[in-house]
Amino acid sequence: MRVCVIGTGYVGLVTGACLAHIGHDVICVDNNEEKVKLMKSGQSPIFEPGLSEIMQAAIANGKIQFTTELSTGVAHGEILFIAVGTPPLPTGESDTRYVEAVARGIGAHLNGGYKVIVNKSTVPIGSGDWVRMIVLDGIAERQKTLVPVGAGRDREQLPEMTVEFDVVSNPEFLREGSAVYDTFNPDRIVLGGNSSKAIAMMQELYAPIVERKYAEDQSLPPVPVLVTDLSSAEMIKYAANAFLATKISFINEVANICDRVGADVTQVAKGIGLDSRIGNKFLNAGIGWGGSCFPKDVAALIHTADDYGYEAQLLKAAVSVNQRQRLIAVEKLQQALKILKGKTVGLLGLTFKPDTDDMRDAPALNLIEQLNRLGAKVKAYDPIVSQSGLRDGLSGVLVETDPERLADGCDALVLVTEWQQFNHLDYAKMAKLMNHPVMIDGRNFLDPETMLRAGFQYIGVGR
């Protein structure tokens, strides 16, 4: 099928590359010329395991193209994905101006033939009908354009054009760091819409994925496809992320109680996770959640509830617990080192999670800010950030190029991001380079006995 993906962030680029990989003809559109030039050369502008490889293969097979011209993408695609960002506003609501601009632009370039317009961006509930209205506005604006018809004659309107399209909500459930895997091995595919024709085209688009042709385990039964109305599909995305964020906040609250009564939250999490009603995922206590999705989506759902006269108390509590949890590492540093003024603290990891270069709303940023406020010198090492230009935008922290340089002269280390590489560092050597070998394990990721043998004073969260 012919596909156009508008927006090449995490969601758009992964979606476009993966659809090209399974055989569709894809054009990705982005208004950033330098980014498009980079992608045309086969380089991914984001770090995502496996993405560069499938991009390069799709380019070589002629299955994916990149352009800045929206008109080219709209003319090409039977299915048009809107995958631009919806960043949070200070009020908590989503900034939908980019979605609006794209929808209006699609309307301005529709030129006959049936199209399915897909909301892939995480958009406020009710956006399906809103996008349809904006597209129609774009069509109307185009049809009102006046053109010259000859010397000495008035201008006249373009003849009205019949345009047929439907809007579908197809929320993404991709995890940064495993987005390519998640695309080919989804738990479910959600399609929201009221057009059987549009839904049928989406089912055809995803058929190879539904049938597990590109799955890690191809013997599994077909991927469940849930067909809903537009609003329910939009709500599913928000509800899923809000539930997962709340689950993390819950186990962090339990961890804080464990710290006070002498229980081990890792054992508690294992015990409750064996309950099939609860499950063991997202029960890892630590210094809280961050990134581009959980904070934005929970805030947006709270704002939606407020708009309709309901106070989402549980969601507000989840946010409050998470905000406090980010400072737990600072409290533990104060307990171990007492006064932090004049001390040097090293952060192991900067990104909000491993296997990504994403620093958006990363807990590390809060730690850097608070440690600076308390007069500490802050150093950091991150497997991706330390090797990229991203560190140029960081302030209040010295980014080191390797873990041993990080440890040298530190009074304590804080494990912030659970990169797998951090399980294999020479901690005994690092401990000898430190003024005080204190390790605050902000993710309960390291083995306490191993750290003690390496010479560290080990402090976990809820352990």
* Residue 437 one-letter amino acid: P
Tokens 């030039």 correspond to 37
**Alpha-carbon gap, residue 87 to 373, rounded angstroms:** 28
Q: Which of 18, 28, 258, 293 is catalytic?
A: 293
Give 162-196 as a DSSP string.
---EEEEE----PPTTSHHHHHHS-S-EEEE-S-H
3-state secondary structure of 49: coil
Closest CA to 255 of 265, 268, 244, 267: 265
> Hey, what's the torsion of the CAs at 404, 406, 407, 409, to 10 degrees?
120
If 0-12 CB within 10 Å is exposed, 13-18 middle and 19+ buried, where does residue 63 land?
A: buried
Q: Are 131 and 168 in contact (CB under 8 A)?
A: no
* 135: enclosing H helix or E strand: helix 127-143
Give 375's contacts (C-beta < 8 A, 6+ positions apart). Answer: 340, 341, 342
Give 207-262 as a DSSP string.
HHHHTTTTSSSTTSPPPPEEEE-HHHHHHHHHHHHHHHHHHHHHHHHHHHHHHHHT
**Tokens representing 344?**
């040097």
* Residue 420 one-letter amino acid: Q
**Alpha-carbon gap, residue 251 to 259, rounded angstroms:** 12
**Alpha-carbon gap, residue 115 to 288, rounded angstroms:** 42
Cα separation of the two ends of the chain: 53
* Known catalytic membership, residue 293: yes
Closest CA to 368 of 340, 387, 409: 340
Q: Give catalytic residues, as residue numbers.
A: 293
